[in-house]
Structures are given as C-alpha cells and as structure tokens.
C-alpha cells in the first residue's frame, strides 16, 4: 500500500490508507442488530483525517461528500476494513474515494466466517482541504 508524504502534492496523488477494526455491541442501533450508517461515516472521516495528516501535516477538513452508498448490512462482531485513496489533487484540495469492506462476518452464536472475497459494505467520495490557511 502506498503512503502519502508531506514533501509534495505530486507524491500525494494515489496515496492510500487502511484501517481495520471489529464492530462492537455499542455499534448496534437498529432491530436485527444492524450497525448504523453513521458508523461507516465516522470510519470514512478517520480515513480522510489520516490522508490529510499524511499530505498536509494537519487533520484537514471535509468540505463535501459527493456520494455515499450503503451496500451491505454490518453487524456487531463483524471485522471491517476501510480503505481510502486520493484520486485527484486541486491546488488546495484532495478528492478522496473510500470503501468499507466486511472481511469477517460474525454469527450470533459467536462463530465467524472469513469472507473471500470481502463484501463491499459502503463507499463514498469526498473532498478535503487543509485546516491551515494557505496550506496545500
């Protein structure tokens, strides 16, 4: 996986970050133990923040979501992997594509299944800018 650096915008193009975590009981919000879409949005925010730190040196700001899709249900106990990459660079902005995959599906009896291939559960496109005036 490529890592972004602060040394120049050209090097930030194609930069990619990854996060993997397990959803817990506190993430359940709906009947059937479904995890709220807001949880996916929070993970997208963490991915955007890491990309901003790696490219700007600060946490940056998300100025727009251009699209968000929730494609498969998530439940407590699922292991998920979030990936985000910079797809285009502006003078002071970065366009991001992010995806959230279910990599292990949890069963109510405590068992789990490794999903091969992983299931695309959500995806989003956003624009971030530096939180510092004149950065980018």
**Which sequence spans correspond to the domains of the chain?**
11-129
Of 134, 75, 126, 78, the C-alpha closest to 99 is 126
Please tell me the pTM assigned to this model.
0.85
CATH for 11-129, options being 3.65.10.10, 3.10.129.10, 3.30.360.10, 3.30.930.10: 3.10.129.10
Kindly tell me if the per-residue pLDDT of 59 is higher than 50: yes
pLDDT digits (tens, 9 = 90+) for 76-131: 999 999 999 999 988 889 999 999 999 999 988 889 999 999 999 999 999 999 87
| Measured distance CA(79)–CA(20) in Å, rounded | 7
pLDDT at 33: 87
Which pLDDT score, from 0 to 100, does residue 110 have? 84
Query: Above pLDDT 90, what percent of the chain?
Result: 66
């Amino acid at each position: 996986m490529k890592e972004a650096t602060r040394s120049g915008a050209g090097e930030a193009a194609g930069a990619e970050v990854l996060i993997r975590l397990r959803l817990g009981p506190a993430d359940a919000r709906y009947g059937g133990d479904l995890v709220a879409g807001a949880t996916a949005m929070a993970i997208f925010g963490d991915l955007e923040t890491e990309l901003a730190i790696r490219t700007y040196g600060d946490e940056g700001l998300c100025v727009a979501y251009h699209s968000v899709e929730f494609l498969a249900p998530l439940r407590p106990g699922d292991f998920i992997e979030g990936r985000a990459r910079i797809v285009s660079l502006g003078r002071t902005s970065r366009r991001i594509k992010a995806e959230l995959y279910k990599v292990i599906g949890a069963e109510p009896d405590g068992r789990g299944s490794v999903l091969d291939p992983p299931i695309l559960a959500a995806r989003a496109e956003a624009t971030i800018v530096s939180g510092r005036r004149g950065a980018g």
